[in-house]
Amino acid sequence: MHVSSLRLSHFRNYQSMEVGFHPQLNLFLGSNAQGKTNILEALYCLSTTRSFRAAADEEMIQFNQEAGAIEGVLQQEEGQEQIQLELRKEKNKVLLVNGKKQKKLSSLLGRLPAVVFSPDDLFLVKGGPALRRRYLDVTILQMDQGYLGHFQQYERTLKQRNSLLRQKIPNVEAQLVIWDEPLAEHGAALIIKRAEVARRLSEFAGQALKDLTGGAENFEVRYEPQLPLENNEGSLKERMLQALAQARREELARGVTVVGPHRDDLGLWVNGKPLRKFGSQGQQRTGALALKLAQLSLLTEGCHTAPLVLFDDVMAELDEKRQAFFLNRLQQGGQAFLTGTSANDFLAASKNARIFWVEAGQIKMTQEGPVGA
């Protein structure tokens, strides 16, 4: 499966644009702030319904416009499928598949898995636990619809429970007990699944780092829950209920829920030491790349199709050896989209790519790419 074309309307700096893609490798060149990353952002929205960089949907709508749209045509063995995502200010997004409005945005998840590589990936290592939890959740959500249900219920329950804690009303403890049950039930399901996926990610990331470093370093990914792990959801739910009861006084004083998977972390260890604390800048960057390669491998396995690879202005940061490694890895996978400012960063790939020049929200194809790919 691949994206054969993309149409944008009032999206970022694109008033109206349509472009056809190569089924394997697509390269977007141009100066900074011309709209290259916006193409990758639009493709990621077609995969996950969300941006990988915007905090709110309104940021993606062109300035002085009330709405925008992203439309992609997917080419599959059984035929074409049209996916359209409508963005509207102060309103929810609307998803249409083959012209038919979908009841849930989540129906798109897993249909077109995608992995983004960007300079901001370094924050996966250097940043706080929330970034690593999001990386883990986004990975699982693209593979497991069941996880989505638990995730949404947990978030809703957590929001209600925190609201209750902040109100400081009489007899609040009796009401908190009511919310403890669903919080523990869905929280236990999230923890069990996260721990399972983290173990698989660790295997893939470990191999990726060995490939990147010539076997010089060992990488381990550990899910680090606040609560001791149990073998099944039932036991973990009971342990979480006990922890919530024990933390009641602290929660009432602070006005926030202090127990649950929203407080967990994903530990990254290189040669037995925490990468965040003891890794050099180079080690941290390589570790972040290994994490994204692991995500790519896991999604390929879990979704039974090669994900889109969105490679945003990263190639220039890699030395020649790592550039060759990544280009070789991309050629083994599915459809890839790369951005950069200089064709010199893509000499090994350019002969096999469809190349576009991007300037001021306009796209011009400068090389068609190999025919029959």
Domains in the chain: boundaries: 1-113+307-373, 120-304
User: What is the spatial distance between Cα 355 and Cα 224, in angstroms, rounded to a whole number?
Assistant: 43
Tokens coding 196: 């399972």
pLDDT, tens digit, 9 for 90 and up, residues 160-172: 999 999 997 888 9
pLDDT under 70 in the chain at which residues? 332, 372-373
pLDDT, tens digit, 9 for 90 and up, residues 181-234: 999 999 999 999 999 999 999 999 999 999 988 888 999 999 999 999 998 999
Tokens coding 77: 């063995």
Determine the pLDDT at residue 346. 81
Determine the pLDDT at residue 329. 80
User: What is the spatial distance between Cα 277 and Cα 298, in angstroms, rounded to a whole number?
Assistant: 26
Looking at residue 183, its amino acid is L
Beta-bridge partners for 354: 26
3-state secondary structure of 113: coil
Determine the pLDDT at residue 326. 83
The helix-helix angle for 320-332 and 172-213 (nearest 10°) equals 110
Determine the pLDDT at residue 373. 56
CATH topology of domain 120-304: Glutathione S-transferase Yfyf (Class Pi); Chain A, domain 2 (1.20.1050)
User: What is the spatial distance between Cα 373 and Cα 25, in angstroms, rounded to a whole number?
Assistant: 10
CATH class belonging to 1-113+307-373 = alpha beta
Backbone angles phi and psi of 25, in degrees to 5: -125, 125
pTM (two decimals) = 0.93
Q: Do 1-113+307-373 and 120-304 share a fold?
A: no
Placement of tokens 């680090």 in the chain: 224
